Amino acid sequence: MRGAKGKQRKQGRRQGGKERAVALTHPPALGNFEIVHGTRLRFVTSAAQLEQPVTYQNLLDLILFTSSATAPYDVFTSVKVRAVELWAAPLLGSAVTTTVRFVGETAGSIGNLKTVTDTSMGIEPAHVKARPGANTLASMFQISSGAVAFDLTCPTGTVVDVELSYKNLPGQAVAAQNVSVGATVGILAYRGLDGLNNATSKFTCAVLPQV
């Protein structure tokens, strides 16, 4: 009953008086021009790696736009690391070790100084999944630079997954560190985790096309 009476009083007020207009002084502000993209990329090593550094420039060079056959540009302008995951199968009768380090060795930056490692024998692969600490360099958006996001130690044939968040700001264009070889012009393409083109990279990307 109370709900019905309240509804009647509200309808009576609408009929007996004027609705109060909401003043809009200007159109609402916009703040979503940047493109944000989360992804998981996979690579397979073609050679053993010992503390192989992966820089923010390497991570931004993973997804490229081929503006020419030899000089691609990064699609995104900043990147942060959500996780790094490795699987490595041991040879019969031997052990295998995989390691991820968030070193943060750049002067003036907040590093993680975090090491995650696993060793396995027999038939079960060594497996590591590492995440950077909160409010550290790798966990926040970084522009292209030679600063090291993390490094990897692993044998040949290791599967490496990286979970990343990318962001792009209009009007910014950053060229990839290394040239491509005979890339098809005007497409999105991928590159190895070490930043090298497909012909020389020791981290073969599982996604096509590659440049």
The residue behind tokens 């909401």 is 22
Which amino acid appears at position 166 of this protein?
A: Y
The residue behind tokens 């009083």 is 9
pLDDT in tens, 152-190: 999 999 999 999 999 998 888 899 999 888 889 999 999
- Residue in 16, 149, 127 with CA at minimum distance from that of residue 82: 149
pTM of the model: 0.83
Any idea how long the chain is? 211
Q: Looking at residue 103, what is its pLDDT?
A: 84
pLDDT in tens, 47-73: 999 999 999 999 999 999 999 999 999
- 2.60.120.220, 2.40.40.20, 3.40.50.10860, 3.40.50.2020: which CATH number matches 31-205? 2.60.120.220
Give the span between the Cα atoms of 183 and 168, in whole angstroms: 23
| pLDDT averaged over every residue in the chain | 87
Confidence of residue 7 (pLDDT cuts 50, 70, 90): low
Give the span between the Cα atoms of 120 and 131, in whole angstroms: 21
Spell out the alpha helix ranges (H) of the chain: 2-16, 56-60
